């Protein structure tokens, strides 16, 4: 492992990765990798998570392709130094901020989007000119093995590497000195990563999770809007990896009187999208492994929780499948209402007045996303200014993930740092400040021995009081 990082360091020192043409070549090669191996990727995702082809394309393959294409088209712009304005006082001078690669970076990706969460950050790291080691999650073994085999076939081996293995490999990697660590996963492991990074003063980006709420107000009373809302909630909960997504809707907040309307229409679309019952389930992934399966089943064990199930609830332990399940008002102190669910269980919490949803959300740690289905301008404003989350999406679910111009990241317990689009490039770069000065003119008052005149001069200079400076120099100001 020390050898791996030494090789990556050597490659970085040689300057290969700094060249923009090298970076573009790698990004193009990554596109080829994905294009030429689509079927293998679909198979691996089916094996690891039971993802269907459309879901795999939408959430994994398509995301990577879009990201690489976007980066390729913007790279020249991103690497260019940004000019800064320089005050007259420093004339003649030139100021700029130059992005440069951090060096050797480590990317940890998680098992729920095993292809895109490994390759999307990789795209950022390459665009910024770094050498990279990716450690994908061993809980998605087919995808891990696909990455380990295919990446060396397409990308520059000396600069981009993939390593397999489990938690022990992760621990050993964390003992080494990296120039940046990018971690996607749980808050618990996020703490371990940051603690390890602290020993080497390594900056980190932590993409964590949380309980992402969906607020639904009385737009439900409008039948056509209710349909769209329901589709988007259903599609946004069970569509991506059957709820095993950091941005999946964790629970829904709705007014008491609209609860049954909501539940009815949700049921309708669950059946239409995924089938009527457990046996006929389709177009939906499965739970990743027995551990996660057991954890989810345990959430339903509490009798008060079990009795709140209003739809679904059936499980197939052999196939690791849990059907889409809706719960109505499980006890607020139950585990299902305090842990991130990360699965196909959807609690609906009723409130007397939908405005209470703000207080409800604020009583929990800051989530990665808040979803709100509403057309009420004032309510939208309140949500924006009185809650805090990584991001907010109005009247839809999941799609903010696809916007390259929006930063994707958390706040508080949902993490810090961000990526996507240019933010990926920035997160793997150091923005170096550069100031060019000339030898002339020289400002004598900069130098000791100090006098009152010099003090006055510099005071005026700092205030950019050019007129005052002129007066001082002409002898019209007392010093």
| 35-41 contacts, C-beta under 8 A, 24 or more apart | 35/65, 37/146, 37/150, 40/146, 40/150, 41/115, 41/143, 41/146
Question: Is 7 noted as a catalytic residue in this protein?
Answer: no
Q: Least distance to another protein from the beta carbon of 162, Å?
A: 25
- Tokens for 252? 């829904």
Of 55, 246, 323, 340, the catalytic one is 246
Query: Roughly how many angstroms between the first and final C-alpha of the chain, as a whole number?
Result: 66
Question: Is the alpha carbon torsion for 319, 320, 324, 326 positive or negative?
Answer: positive
Cα 374 to Cα 383: distance, rounded to the nearest angstrom? 11
Question: Is 55 noted as a catalytic residue in this protein?
Answer: no
Does residue 449 bind another protein (CB under 8 A)?
A: yes
- Of 72 and 297, the one with the shorter C-beta distance to another protein is 72
Please identify which residue in 54, 80, 88, 306 interacts with another protein, judged by CB under 8 A.
54
Please identify which residue in 50, 99, 103, 324 interacts with another protein, judged by CB under 8 A.
103
Cα 296 to Cα 36: distance, rounded to the nearest angstrom? 37
Contact set for another protein, span 277-306 (CB under 8 A): 282-284
Q: Least distance to another protein from the beta carbon of 473, Å?
A: 18
Strand partners, 134: 107, 162
Q: Least distance to another protein from the beta carbon of 141, Å?
A: 25
Q: Least distance to another protein from the beta carbon of 305, Å?
A: 27
Does residue 65 bind another protein (CB under 8 A)?
A: yes
Count of residues that interact with another protein, criterion CB under 8 A: 103
Cα 286 to Cα 309: distance, rounded to the nearest angstrom? 20
Q: How many CB atoms lie within 10 A of CB 283?
A: 14
Cα 368 to Cα 412: distance, rounded to the nearest angstrom? 9
Cα 156 to Cα 8: distance, rounded to the nearest angstrom? 11
Please identify which residue in 4, 40, 46, 57 interacts with another protein, judged by CB under 8 A.
57
Cα 359 to Cα 363: distance, rounded to the nearest angstrom? 6
Does residue 267 bind another protein (CB under 8 A)?
A: no
- Of 150 and 400, the one with the shorter C-beta distance to another protein is 400
Q: Least distance to another protein from the beta carbon of 27, Å?
A: 16
Q: Least distance to another protein from the beta carbon of 321, Å?
A: 15
Does residue 191 bind another protein (CB under 8 A)?
A: yes
Among 158-166, 167-175, 249-257, 441-449, the segment contacting another protein (CB under 8 A): 441-449
Q: Least distance to another protein from the beta carbon of 298, Å?
A: 25
Does residue 377 bind another protein (CB under 8 A)?
A: no
Among 26-34, 109-117, 128-136, 392-400, the segment contacting another protein (CB under 8 A): 392-400
Among 105-113, 186-194, 289-297, 304-312, the segment contacting another protein (CB under 8 A): 186-194
- Of 330 and 410, the one with the shorter C-beta distance to another protein is 410
Alpha-carbon Rg of the chain, whole angstroms?
A: 27
Please identify which residue in 295, 458, 471, 477 interacts with another protein, judged by CB under 8 A.
458
Please identify which residue in 141, 164, 165, 187 interacts with another protein, judged by CB under 8 A.
187
Of 55, 60, 207, 340, the catalytic one is 207
Cα 282 to Cα 274: distance, rounded to the nearest angstrom? 5
> What does the buried/exposed string (b/e) look like for 428-439 if buried means 16 or more CB atoms within 10 Å of the residue's CB?
bbeeeeeeeeee
Please identify which residue in 223, 303, 448, 475 interacts with another protein, judged by CB under 8 A.
448
- Of 92 and 166, the one with the shorter C-beta distance to another protein is 92
- Of 172 and 459, the one with the shorter C-beta distance to another protein is 459
Site string for another protein, 201-240 (x = CB under 8 A): x-x--x-x----------x----xx--xx-xx-xx---x-
Contact set for another protein, span 398-437 (CB under 8 A): 399-400, 402-408, 411-413, 415-418, 430-437
Does residue 395 bind another protein (CB under 8 A)?
A: yes
Instruction: Just list the catalytic residues.
Output: 207, 246
């Amino acid at each position: 492992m020390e050898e791996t990082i030494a090789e990556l360091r050597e490659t970085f020192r040689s300057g290969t990765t700094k060249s923009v043409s090298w970076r573009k070549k790698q990004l193009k090669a990554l596109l080829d990798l994905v294009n030429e191996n689509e079927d293998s990727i679909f198979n691996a995702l089916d094996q690891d998570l039971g993802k269907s082809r459309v879901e795999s394309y939408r959430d994994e393959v398509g995301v990577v392709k879009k990201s690489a294409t976007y980066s390729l088209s913007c790279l020249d712009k991103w690497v260019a130094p940004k000019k800064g304005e320089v005050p007259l006082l420093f004339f003649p001078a030139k100021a700029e901020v130059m992005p440069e690669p951090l060096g050797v970076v480590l990317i940890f990706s998680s098992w729920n989007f095993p292809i895109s969460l490994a390759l999307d950050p990789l795209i950022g790291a390459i665009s910024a000119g770094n050498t990279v080691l990716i450690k994908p999650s061993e809980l998605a073994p087919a995808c891990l093995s696909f990455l380990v085999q295919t990446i060396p076939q397409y990308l520059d081996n000396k600069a981009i590497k993939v390593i397999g293995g489990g938690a022990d490999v992760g621990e050993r990697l964390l003992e080494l000195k990296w120039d940046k660590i990018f971690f996607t996963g749980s808050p618990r492991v996020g703490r371990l990563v940051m603690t390890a990074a602290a020993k080497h003063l390594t900056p980190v980006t932590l993409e964590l999770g949380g309980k992402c709420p969906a607020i639904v107000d009385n737009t439900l009373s409008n039948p056509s809007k209710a349909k769209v809302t329901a589709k988007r909630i259903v599609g946004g909960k069970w569509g991506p990896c059957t709820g095993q997504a950091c941005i999946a809707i964790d629970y829904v907040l709705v007014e008491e009187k609209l609860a049954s309307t909501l539940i009815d229409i949700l049921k309708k679309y669950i059946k239409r999208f995924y089938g009527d019952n457990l046996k006929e389930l389709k177009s939906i992934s499965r739970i990743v492994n027995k551990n996660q399966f057991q954890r989810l089943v345990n959430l339903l064990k509490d009798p008060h929780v079990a009795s709140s199930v209003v739809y679904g609830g059936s499980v197939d332990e052999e196939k690791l499948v849990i059907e889409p399940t809706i719960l109505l008002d499980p006890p607020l102190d139950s585990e299902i209402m305090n842990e991130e669910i990360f699965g196909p269980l959807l609690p609906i919490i009723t409130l007397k007045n939908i405005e209470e949803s703000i207080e409800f959300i604020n009583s929990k740690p800051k989530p990665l996303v808040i979803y709100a289905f509403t057309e009420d301008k004032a309510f939208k404003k309140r949500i924006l200014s009185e809650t805090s989350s990584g991001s907010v999406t109005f009247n839809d679910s999941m799609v903010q993930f696809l916007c390259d111009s929006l930063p994707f990241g958390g706040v508080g317990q949902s993490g810090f740092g961000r990526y996507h689009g240019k933010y990926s490039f920035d997160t793997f770069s150091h923005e170096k400040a550069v100031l060019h000065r000339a030898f002339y003119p020289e400002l004598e008052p900069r130098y000791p021995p100090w006098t009152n005149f010099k003090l006055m001069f510099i005071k005026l200079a700092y205030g950019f009081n050019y007129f005052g400076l002129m007066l001082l120099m002409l002898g019209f100001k007392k010093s």
